[in-house]
Structure 1
Amino acid sequence: MTRFLPPLRLVGATILRDGAMQSRSIAIADGRITRGPLPEIDLSGYYVMPGMIDLHGSAFARHLAPRPAAQFDPMTALCSTDREAAANGVTTAYLSQGWSWHGGLRGPDFAETMLAALYRYQLNALIDMRIALDCETHMVDTAARLMAAIRRFDVGYVMFRNTLDDTLEQLRYGHLTALDEAATEASRGRLHRAQARSREVPRHLCRLAEVFDEMGIVYGSSGDGDGETRESYAMIGAKHCAFPRARRAAAAAKAMGDPVILSATSAVRPSGPKSGVSVIELVKEGICDALASDYYYPSLLSAVWSLVDTHGVSLPAAWALVSQRPAEIMRTPDRGTLGLGRRADLVILNQQTRQIEATLVAGRLAYLSGEAGARFLGHGSQPSAPFVPAAKMTTRTPQTRRN
């Protein structure tokens, strides 16, 4: 783990604090937000924002298997994911790992491998990386194994998911290309064995919910297709409603006071009317509590600016969807805002280019670039040249390209 930065005061920036953009300084020492006269770094022309908390991200799968037949070592994938997340302002990341009858990278065997790899990697991680287990509801026969893995690797977040009916429909109509390994006999066998235990699923989920409550595990459901499904999960304590596939499911969760987590990627790349859910509309109606990266880390920042520029949402309100609200949802009061005594999880953005140039995690440097990097390294030195707005930037020629 990298060392803390020396005690510093960031001055001249516009800071998101107490729910408003304020022109004030912020001091950090020993990994926390503090006060007092400290050596200063001039960040005029920058925003300082709370670090992003990503509640559901599967981008690591791209680093693990960039091609279906090309799988890399999990430690290598975690290292690459760690750096990508930090460069995109994520300071706490929940990596979505399947526990499914689909097998392969979503099966229990690989889930245990991934959990063990992250357990080892965390000592050297730049950001706070955790696992969110996406558990298929029909994995009745793996209940003991699931709980053993959760206890061994201290998993604190589980989401129930049911893709069995959709998969059966795809098989029925011959749409095998949409499925991972669906054409293999082994996959078909796992599917039909899971289907055979359908009557046991409600009791299975209730037993898991009881244990989760005893252990203090946060849990919910993902991909709810209607309000009734959402209500059934809520009744057993699975409060989180992530990526609902129908507006009724999201509205039902909101009516019951349960958090609704939507895809930032869908906010900036809408799926069209067939998706049944307009992320932007739900945000504007107050039905969305948090945005998650889904499968693309840059979507978090893009969604924030889209809400601000196109949909009339204030920057503090938009940013709360990726920082303060996720922290509240996950019961992590030490992060999500820039209050005194909180973890020094900061994102530093150039006001003109709107790009992230630095990410600090618990007072440690996780990512540093651009003019902000020069100022940190120069401890407050002024920029040698004026900022160039993004709209006026030109492509560098080989003669002017920096090494």
Structure 2
Amino acid sequence: MIINNVKLILQDEIINGSLEARDGVIYRYGEGASRLPQALDGDGGWLLPGLIELHTDNMDKFFTPRPNVDWPAHSAMSSHDALMVANGITTVLDAVAIGDVRDGGHRAGTLQKMIDAIIDSHATGATRAEHRLHLRCELPHSSTLGLFEQFMDQPAVSLVSLMDHSPGQRQFVSPVKYREYTQGKYHLSDRQMDAFEREQTALARQWSAPNRAAIAAHCRRRNITLASHDDATVEHVEESRALGSAIAEFPTTEAAARASHHLGLQVLMGAPNIVRGASHSGNVAAHHLASIGVLDILSSDYYPASLLDAAFRVAADETNGFTLPQAVRLMTDNPARALGLGDRGLIAEGRRADLVLAHRHSGHVYVKNVWRQGRQIF
């Protein structure tokens, strides 16, 4: 597979040239052009490594497209996968929730179905992107540890995050914000909300600490990458680091992000935050963390198209000093290194030929072609 006439986004520079892949890996690249007739003309577009997505909730909407609608697993997985590759994402960690912030939440009912779909579709080659598992563990529940232990030895498990969405914790240090968010999401009356808040506080008091310690210990023994979630204070970050976390997902304050970066945790923020210019929940903005040099990884979170868009927006923002190669590493090399995936994430000889050809039209950057291990998948 040969691509001519492209702007290759390398680790630290951009060059105009061509690339050749053989047997699924990058064989060579440079400023010259191939004269072989099978070479693809990239028409001056950007050629960058395939994007690596560590935390996407996108799959949920296909398995449960409407309340009480249970969609067939094969169709749901196929549609989710198609949207991933269409946005240049070649490695996907599908986030599934272990436990739920609400008893009987829809995620509990589709958990096994989603995990089976991810594993089976990968085993049979039914998906175009490479799909792995990200287990999001909601700590304040009696069933969380047992469910985690049921799935923790699946080879597809590549990342585990520890979440606590109970009142007064992490994302919801503010009780006012907690009530606003929860009542809006679950359509609870004031009376129902009071009862729900008491219940969640009691559950957190009983289960959060022992579940956090037990799940982290399982991850350390199995060398599964561990992530904190929504840390809000320096104390939160210090606890996460002591447990062995390598990634800080969505720190909610500048102080937590600075502490995470200082202690060696890779700070992960949402690409939609970059595109929109702010956090939808009112927490610290990703572009601000970029401007102070503590942004390491971007995730598309709930909107797959945001990932590539965010890379070019970060590079165009003069307040942070990111070059385009540095911005692209936020969703390629940096997440690959955080997971220990040394075979991908960069355009370099011997790396996997996971590649994205992108063009700009009317000010918008869009994906034209995608390859995974040298095979065109979009």
When normalised by structure 1's length, the TM-score is 0.80
| Structure 1 segment 288-303 matched on structure 2, within 5 A | 288-303=295-310
Of residues 303, 313, 333, the one that matches 2:342 is 333
For 2:27, the equivalent position in structure 1 comes to 34
Of residues 320, 327, 330, the one that matches 2:329 is 320
For 2:114, the equivalent position in structure 1 comes to 114
Structure 1 window deviating more from structure 2 (220-229 vs 124-133): it is 220-229
- The answer on whether the counterparts of 1:59 and 1:81 sit within 8 Å (CA) in structure 2 is yes
Structure 1 window deviating more from structure 2 (207-216 vs 265-274): it is 265-274
Give deviations 1:288-335, integer Å, cap 9, x for gaps. 101100100111122112122333532111111111111111110111
Larger radius of gyration: 1
Of residues 262, 279, 282, the one that matches 1:275 is 282
For 1:255, the equivalent position in structure 2 comes to 262
Shift in Å, 1:151: 1.5
| Distance 1:181-1:127 versus aligned 2 partners, 3 A rule | farther
Structure 1 window deviating more from structure 2 (133-142 vs 193-202): it is 193-202
| Distance 1:289-1:173 versus aligned 2 partners, 3 A rule | closer
| Distance 1:292-1:174 versus aligned 2 partners, 3 A rule | closer
Matched residue type, 1:106 = R
Unaligned runs of 5+ in 2: none
For 1:104, the equivalent position in structure 2 comes to 105
Unaligned runs of 5+ in 1: 1-7, 368-403
The count of corresponding residues between Structure 1 and Structure 2 is: 357
| Distance 1:298-1:154 versus aligned 2 partners, 3 A rule | closer
Distance 2:297 2:177 in 1: 34
- The answer on whether the counterparts of 2:140 and 2:206 sit within 8 Å (CA) in structure 1 is no
For 1:62, the equivalent position in structure 2 comes to 61
When normalised by structure 2's length, the TM-score is 0.85
Distance 2:310 2:28 in 1: 32
For 1:392, the equivalent position in structure 2 comes to none
Q: Identity across aligned pairs (percent)?
A: 24
For 2:356, the equivalent position in structure 1 comes to 347
| Structure 1 segment 62-81 matched on structure 2, within 5 A | 62-81=61-80
Distance 2:200 2:294 in 1: 37
Structure 1 window deviating more from structure 2 (32-41 vs 318-327): it is 32-41
- The answer on whether the counterparts of 1:164 and 1:195 sit within 8 Å (CA) in structure 2 is no
Distance 2:167 2:284 in 1: 20
Of residues 162, 165, 171, the one that matches 1:163 is 165
Shift in Å, 1:190: 11
Shift in Å, 1:272: 6.2
Secondary structure at 2:115 match in 1: helix
CA RMSD of aligned residues (A): 2.9
Give deviations 1:128-153, integer Å, cap 9, x for gaps. 11221110122344423311212146
| Distance 1:148-1:190 versus aligned 2 partners, 3 A rule | farther
- The answer on whether the counterparts of 1:45 and 1:351 sit within 8 Å (CA) in structure 2 is no
Shift in Å, 1:344: 0.6
Distance 2:282 2:294 in 1: 17
Matched residue type, 2:237 = R
For 2:52, the equivalent position in structure 1 comes to 53
Matched residue type, 1:20 = E
| Distance 1:34-1:116 versus aligned 2 partners, 3 A rule | same
Secondary structure at 1:164 match in 2: coil
For 1:381, the equivalent position in structure 2 comes to none
Matched residue type, 2:98 = W
